[in-house]
Amino acid sequence: MRTYEIFLKRDGQEEYRHAGSIDAPDDELALLLARENYLRRAEGDLLWMVDRQHLLIGDRDFVAPNSDKPHRDNDGLLVAAHRKSQRESR
C-alpha cells in the first residue's frame, strides 16, 4: 500500500490546493479512489496526485530564516502617518 497526496483545482481562478491523502496499492486505483473520495460534488475540475514518498519537504527550520526579513515588506504606515500629521497641522 502506498500513500498519495491529492491536490485539486477549481477553474482557472485558483491554484492547486491540497485536499487530503489516500492509500492505494497502485497509481491507477489511487486516481480512482481520489476521484470517488475527493471529487464527489465537483469540488474541483482538475486533479494532481503525488506519491508521498516523492514529496520533497522543507520543514519549519528550513523555512524559518525568511520569516524574519522585514526589509522585504513595506506596510505604508510611515507615509500614512506623515501625511496625516501634515493634514492635521494645516
Partner 1 sequence: MGRTWSSMDDFEAFLNDGGMVEVDDDMPDEYRTAVFRFIELHANSELMGGLTERDWIPMTPGLRHKMAVLAKSQDEIGHGHLLYMVAADLGVKTRREMLEDLFAGRSRFHNVFHYKVRTWGDQVAICLLVDGAAVPSQKAVYKDCSYGPYKRILKRILAEEGFHLRLGEERVLRIAEGTDAQRAMFQQSIDDWWWPALRLFGPDSKPNDRLARWRLKSEKNEVMRAGWVQKFVPMLHSYGFTIPDPGLTHDAQTDTWTCGPIDWEPLKRTMAMDGPDTARRIAEASAAWETTRWVRDALDAAPAGAVA
Q: What residues make contact with partner 1 under the rule CB under 8 A?
A: 11-15, 46, 69, 71-76, 78-79, 82, 86
Give the residue with the Cβ less far from partner 1, 61 or 75.
75
- Cβ atoms 49, 6 nearer than 8 A: yes
Q: How far is the CB of 83 from partner 1 (least distance, A)?
A: 8
Name the minimum Å distance from CB 68 to partner 1.
12
- Give how far Cα 5 sits from Cα of 2, 28, 49, 69, 70, Å: 10, 14, 6, 31, 33
Q: Judge contact between 52 and 2, C-beta under 8 A.
A: yes
- C-beta closer to partner 1: residue 67 or 86: 86
